[in-house]
């Protein structure tokens, strides 16, 4: 990897993803090896073999960077760490469990790059979701409630595959679980958000870090916070230096 800034940074948070980590990194590199990129994996204090897998993957993936948290800080903080470490103006994030197919990365990134600066994000919308019926039902319910309350136009905010402008993300207020509300926060800052259909596949190894009930209780309090933030948002309609 050269010292020049890449065009694109891929970020993926991982916590205890042994069995998925190296496979995912190698797959991302296979998709992007012919374009300027870096892969930034945030190891969120894993206690299994995730870090060892990632270190070994550096032998075959020259664009891989590993950023390691000293303590487990959760998915939203890991994403923020990745964005802060990233060197490219365009970022695409995806889940570290491998359920987001890397083949869909160019679909979102190319759409984002082609849009004017007013588009801050192009987010994935899972088609043929490979989860349990209970999980899909809970997700549909949660998405419906969130969409009605926040007016974020997102049918599937739980999809981890999202492309966005680094500078736009850094303007957003940060809090734990922020990653679930990125479309709403982008809109609050005045950016346009687009959505594209992407694939989804079963988890190959490890276990999900979330439960439906745990996610529901956290989301309810978070949505009240976002509603308060939205009520305090004021946009200047652009600005000029005179």
Asked whether residue 2 is domain-assigned, the answer is: no
Residues 183-213 pLDDT 10s: 999 999 999 999 999 999 888 776 665 555 5
Asked whether residue 84 is domain-assigned, the answer is: yes
pTM across the whole model: 0.85
Asked whether residue 153 is domain-assigned, the answer is: yes
Asked whether residue 190 is domain-assigned, the answer is: yes
* Total domain count, the chain: 1
Domain of residue 150, residue span: 8-231
Asked whether residue 242 is domain-assigned, the answer is: no
Asked whether residue 54 is domain-assigned, the answer is: yes
pLDDT given at position 239: 78
Residues 5-33 pLDDT 10s: 999 999 999 999 999 999 999 999 999 99
Q: What is the mean pLDDT of residues 207-235?
A: 73
Asked whether residue 13 is domain-assigned, the answer is: yes
Residues 136-180 pLDDT 10s: 555 666 666 666 677 777 778 889 999 999 999 999 999 999 998
pLDDT given at position 48: 96
Task: State yes or no: pLDDT of 1 exceeds 50.
Answer: no
CA distance 14 to 20: 9
Asked whether residue 236 is domain-assigned, the answer is: no
Task: State yes or no: pLDDT of 108 exceeds 50.
Answer: yes
**DSSP secondary structure letter of residue 47:** S
Q: Is the dihedral of CA 108, 112, 12, 190 positive or negative?
A: negative
Residues whose CB is less than 8 angstroms from the CB of residue 193 and which lie 6 or more positions away in sequence, other chains included = 119, 120, 121, 122, 123, 152, 153, 154, 183, 186, 187
Whichever domain contains 87, its CATH number is 3.90.550.10
């Amino acid at each position: 990897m050269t010292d020049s800034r890449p065009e694109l940074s891929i970020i993926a948070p991982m916590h205890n993803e042994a069995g998925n980590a190296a496979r995912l990194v190698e797959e991302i590199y296979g998709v992007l090896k012919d374009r300027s990129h870096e892969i930034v994996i945030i190891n969120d204090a894993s206690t299994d073999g995730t870090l060892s897998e990632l270190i070994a993957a550096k032998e075959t993936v020259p664009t891989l960077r590993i950023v390691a948290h000293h303590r487990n800080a959760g998915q939203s903080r890991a994403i923020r760490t990745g964005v802060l470490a990233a060197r490219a103006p365009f970022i695409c994030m995806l889940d570290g469990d491998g359920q987001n197919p890397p083949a869909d990365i160019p679909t979102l990134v190319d759409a984002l790059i082609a849009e004017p600066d007013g588009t801050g994000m192009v987010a994935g919308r899972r088609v043929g979701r490979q989860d349990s019926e209970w999980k899909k039902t809970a997700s549909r319910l949660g998405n419906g409630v969130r969409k009605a309350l926040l007016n974020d136009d997102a049918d599937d905010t739980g999809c981890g595959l999202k492309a966005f402008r680094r500078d736009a993300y850094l303007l957003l207020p940060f809090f734990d679980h922020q990653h679930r509300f990125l479309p709403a926060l982008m809109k609050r800052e005045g950016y346009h958000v687009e959505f594209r259909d992407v694939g989804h596949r079963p988890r190959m190894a490890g276990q999900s870090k979330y439960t439906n009930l745990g996610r529901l209780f956290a989301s309810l309090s978070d949505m009240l916070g976002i509603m308060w933030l939205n009520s305090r948002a004021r946009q200047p309609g652009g600005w000029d230096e005179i």
